Structure 1
Amino acid sequence: MTGTAFVTERDLARTYDGGAYENTWEAVEQYRAATRYANTNDVGSGATASALDLPRSRIRTWVDQGGEPDAVRAIDTARGYGWLECTPDDDIFAGLNALVANVFSGGSIADSHYRPSFALNHRGEDSHVIDALELVGVDYQIVDDRDGRADEARPTEDGTVLGRVLAVLGAPVGPKADQLLSLPDYLVVGSVDVRETFVYAYLENRAVHHEGKDTMTITEERNDSYLSSLAVLINDIAGGGVTRNSESITISADAARSLGTVR
């Protein structure tokens, strides 16, 4: 699906469902209709509510005070960064794709407010995730001294909107051990380059290299269907040599050399 954007306004708005509005996309459409009508006709919330048959209590803040729903603000923010319009051929999508892989393989998105954190791998501040964050255009800070846990990169501005965009793309939200995970749908229809970026980013975080061997393994406590799908994806990119075991994935020496991930 080259040339097709994977993040839509509607899907991003729906990450806000269950808050102030039961159907947030409907609220976005009402906001746009109300502000368009008020601006075009130079009227206030009362006349706008009557003309559009909307509750004045809902649109008063929008029309009279310049407020807007959080989802509208998020849509405008995401558009400003280019996250909504980007396609698999764009550098921005390459960055988003790498960040999704990082959430699966070491990072996280908090289930409250969608705030993301991205684990740095053995390369430290030379980790792929730093390049990815720069591609998507957000500022970030490095958080270290985490009691033996990996250092993290955390967006400092608009991070929660980024987290929602990654969730729309298929990144898990909340503790991964408690979920039935599945790989993002865009990997099925995406190009080879898209799948390669995801696999390389994933392996940089999770692949274990064994001393004196080129063989690599990935060991994770995840649901069976997810591990099987991940093994199939890596095997496809490596051109064979990847096997799924009970709780791990083995990447043969030939496959590791084909992937170019041997240190």
Structure 2
Amino acid sequence: MEWDAPVLEARDLARTYDGGAYSDSWAAVLDFQAVLRYANTHPNKGSHAISSALEIPRGRVRSWVGYDSKPDAVHGIEVAREYGWLEATPRDDTFQALNALVANVFSGGSISTRSFAPSFALNHREHRSHVLETIDATGIDYEFAHEDDDSRATEVRPTADGTVLGRTLVALGAPVGPKAELERLSLPWYLDEAPFEVREMFVLAYLANRGIHHAGKDTIQIREERPQRYRDELASFIEDIAKEPVTSTEHGITISADAARSLGLQPRYRNPKTSFE
């Protein structure tokens, strides 16, 4: 990964959408762009001529040129570009915000399998949770849910363009649907070659939601009802950042006192009140 190059590619975002008549939604984007280019350079050509020249069904061309329609993937790409998500490089604050939100999906949030709308549970800091500043940094508006329900964690849910944000996070490797049911859950692909500060931010955002502190102990635990392979991967990743021992167990992960201190984590002596799965 080049540190000065954008991380997210438009085609990866496009492929989170249903392509309709296209098996590959990115192909729909390319056809749409080709039709608009041809129409702009041949302003006197109608839909029939464009269809013949590009070998694209006339009904599709007519919809795109005559009625200003566009594939859903094109709309998503345009929205993501307006927010600066497609241009964000690993060194940008915008990408760090997206990175932290990906970590929050893994550790205290979810993305709907039906709509791709994301939601994030507030952690023990409630309305001072880091996820609120993180969402602000993406430029997205949000609202709260379950604020008056003592049996559920308060959630923050992006409103306008929230589903595009959700798809952006998925394109970066965030899981869709209940994480405990995903047999092939794995950490985001971009972390393999990301700068240290990106990798460290992911860990710190993750632990802000999942880290469990106990009175009289400097170790930190993570309880994960997820595949052992994922727990092993996560433990190894945290250890690589902390440079101190982190172990994976049958029911979770134990971060040694030395690793906790290396990460700059301060004991808060709490037990989780609510499961975020």
Q: Shorter chain as normaliser: what TM range?
A: over 0.9
Take 2:40 and 2:162, find their aligned partners in 1: how far apart are those partners?
A: 31
Structure 2 counterpart of 1:108, from 107, 110, 113: 110
Contact 1:214 1:256 in 2 (8 A): yes
Q: In structure 1, how many angstroms separate the alpha carbons of the residues matched to 2:56 and 2:189?
A: 37
What secondary structure sits across from 1:172 in the alignment? coil
> How far apart, in 1, do the equivalents of 2:55 and 2:262 lie?
63
Q: Deviations over 1:219-238 (max 9, x none)?
A: 11111111001101111222
State the SS of the aligned residue for 1:21: coil
Q: Distance in 1 between matches of 2:87 and 2:252?
A: 37
**Is residue 244–residue 262 contact of structure 2 (8 Å, CA) maintained in 1?**
no
Give 1:194-209 correspondences, 5 Å limit.
194-209=198-213
Aligned counterpart, 2:234:
230
CA distances 1:121-140 after superposition (whole Å, capped 9, x unpaired)? 11112111111111111111
Describe the superposition over 1:71-127 as per-residue Cα deviations: whole angstroms up to 9, x where unpaired: 000000000101111111000000000000000011000001211001111111211
Q: CA deviation at 1:213?
A: 2.0
Aligned counterpart in structure 1 of residue 126 of structure 2, from 104, 124, 129: 124
TM-score by structure 1 length? 0.96
- In the alignment, the residues of structure 1 paired with residue 234 and residue 141 of structure 2 have an alpha-carbon distance, to the nearest angstrom, of 30
Partner of 2:87: 85
Distance 1:219 1:18 in 2: 38
Question: Residue 157 of structure 1: SS of its match in structure 2?
Answer: coil
Q: How far apart are 1:212 and its partner, in Å?
A: 2.4
Please say which of residues 6-15 and 37-46 is displaced more in the overlay.
37-46
SS of the residue 1:154 aligns to: strand
Q: Is the 8 A contact 1:49 1:55 kept in 2?
A: yes
CA RMSD of aligned residues (A): 1.3
Deviations 1:155-187 (A, max 9, x none): 111011111110011000011111021011111
Classify 1:19/1:224 alpha carbon distance in 2 versus 1 (closer, same or farther; 3 Å): farther
1:38 maps to which residue? 39
Q: 2:136 aligns with which of 130, 134, 137?
A: 134
Q: Can you give the 5+ residue segments of structure 2 that lack an aligned partner in the other structure?
A: 269-277
Partner residue in 1 for 2:274:
none
Find the counterpart in structure 1 of residue 68 from structure 2. Answer: 66
Question: Greater CA deviation, 164-173 or 235-244?
Answer: 235-244
- Residues 24-59 of structure 1: CA distance to partner in whole angstroms, max 9, x if unpaired? 111111111112211221133122112212110111
Contact 1:44 1:64 in 2 (8 A): no
Distance in 2 separating the partners of 1:17 and 1:25: 10
Give the Cα–Cα distance (whole angstroms) in 1 for the partners of residues 6 and 227 of structure 2. Answer: 29
3-state SS, counterpart of residue 201 of structure 2:
helix
Identity %: 58
